[in-house]
Amino acid sequence: MTTSSTSVLFGTIDEVGTALADGSITSLDLTRAVFDHIEAIEPDIHAFIRLNRSDALKTAEEADRRREANASLGLLDGIPISIKDQIITKGLETTAGSKILQGYIPPYDATVVQRLKAAGAIIIGKNNQDEFAMGSSTEYSAYGATSNPYDFSRVPGGSSGGSAAAVAAGAGFASLGTDTGGSIRQPAAFCGVVGVKPTYGRVSRFGSIAFASSLDQIGPITRNVRDAAHVLQVIGGPDPRDSTCRTVPMPDLLSDLEGGPKGLRIGLVKEAFEPDGLAPDIAERVLETANQLEAAGAELVKVSLPSLPHAIAAYYLTATAEASSNLARYDGVRYGQRANMGNARKVDLVDMYNQTRSEGFGPEVKRRILLGTYVLSAGYYDAFYVKAQRIRTLIGRDFQRAFEHCDALCLPTSPVAPFAQGERTSDPLQMYLADIYTIACNLARVCAVSVPAGLDAKGLPVGVQFICNHLQEPMLLRVARACEVQTGGYCPPAPVQGLVTEGP
């Protein structure tokens, strides 16, 4: 397989949509090429837990028949897309990266998957992830770690690392991830692609396996901002099956996408450039990007989020408490695998619970369950959980004050570049600090995006993050697109292209 014959795999949804429309490629050939490409690169990247080849090829044939009959369902019709394993897919094993759900075949699709299928998208497989979305490196999967397409010795970020790695590596044209504290944006930054965390309630969570219900959100990971707008347009909007889903219809995300930076007020967050852990070259790249926007017509405004330094503590109290509650259902009786208790005629229920959860959950999930149970226990609820909710309220107020002075906030997505595999697994605090710039957005329930901002001196991707107020996705994507025009956006990873050129 040559690089030229696979160049379409690194293209955009618009580009491949044009190729499908003019007949220069069929959806069936495209889907076969994607699976061949995955076969070549998976041994080095491991972006997927399972593939959906047979069903995907049938769906591709149906898309081609619709196109021949001039009955195409739209731009996503016949486009291969992957799904994070956190999101339910009918008839396709869904495990949330955990042993405790191994073998679970859902009888229904998540709302977002239903909407993608209704638009004709082809579901090619389930992406690897940190178990139950608890991690920042995709090293905490029960099915092995995922590697960064730009450097196989480094992590792709997490928890949606498999989704970001797949999109960056040409294994599908988009993926759906979930974002509880940065799990779309941080891996998007690490893998040089675009990741959107919509406003809480903008996209239905029905069919998304819960981690922290007041923080979780589904969003797209794509190669450019326009593709993100296309996917978000399809998956967003009201859903009566999700009581937290907003009833406000999704607006047209493409009408003002090319509005440019002129007249926009971009807020540089003072506290975002103060932490000692911020790598100098990342700070420099983010500020350079902001200056490029200013030169193109935007106004830079200095703003403050005083509560930002407290977001980590508030987040890890809130998220672990909710995780402890949500994951209590996996006890070997109602949900998930049950431990083999031998041939004993009488099994102690507590022993069965203990053994099932000990075998089924990985160490990071156990750590967070224990932290959350402690936080919610008598005598500590007021001291920790209630105080965290008060800080969460302050964070939300800080965002609202900042948005009085600007249209969007600008800050790094991550304080560091993609780090080496194994570098932080023995130090959970350092792993958690990788999310320092992303978690406040989830606590405030506003929308955010990570956009590629070039490569650092080692050739590793750098992401710049923009945050907008509630329900301001059109503005968010306009700012992101303006940034993309200045930075050049996605750049295909050379190591992956080298693999394909040399063959599997």
Catalytic positions: 84, 159, 183
Strands (E) across 194-241 are located at 194-197, 218-222
Rounding to the nearest 10 degrees, give the CA dihedral for residues 39, 42, 43, 45. 160
Q: How many CA atoms lie within 13 A of 314 on its CB side?
A: 26
Following DSSP, what letter does each residue of 312-379 receive, concatenated?
HHHHHHHHHHHHHHHGGG-SSSSSS-----TT-SS--HHHHHHHHHHHHS-HHHHHHHHHHHHHHSTT
User: Is the previous residue joined to 159 through a cis bond, with omega within 30 degrees of 0?
Assistant: yes
Judge contact between 449 and 183, C-beta under 8 A: no
**Interhelix angle for 225-235 vs 473-487, to 10°?**
160
| Cα–Cα distance for residue pair 464/454, rounded to 1 Å | 9
Q: How many CB atoms lie within 10 A of CB 42?
A: 17
Q: What is the CA radius of gyration of the chain?
A: 22
Give φ, ψ of 197 to 5 degrees. Answer: -105, 105
Alpha carbons 478 and 504: distance in angstroms, whole number: 40
Residue with tokens 């580009």: 15
Neighbouring C-alpha atoms within 13 Å toward the C-beta of 280: 1
Q: What b-and-e string marks burial along 68-84, b requiring 16 or more CB atoms within 10 Å of the CB?
A: eeeebbebbbbbbbbbb
Tell me if 250 sits within 8 A of 201, measured CB to CB. Answer: no
Residue bearing tokens 């819960």: 210
Distance CA 143, CA 164 (A): 17
In angstroms, what CA-CA distances link 460 with 6, 313, 465? 23, 29, 17
In the block, tokens 């967070």 appear at 368
Residues 83, 126 contacting (CB under 8 angstroms): yes
Q: Identity (one letter) of the amino acid at 248? A: V
SS (H, E, C) 433-455: HHHCCCHHHHHHCCEEEEEEEEE
Q: What is the DSSP letter of 404?
A: T
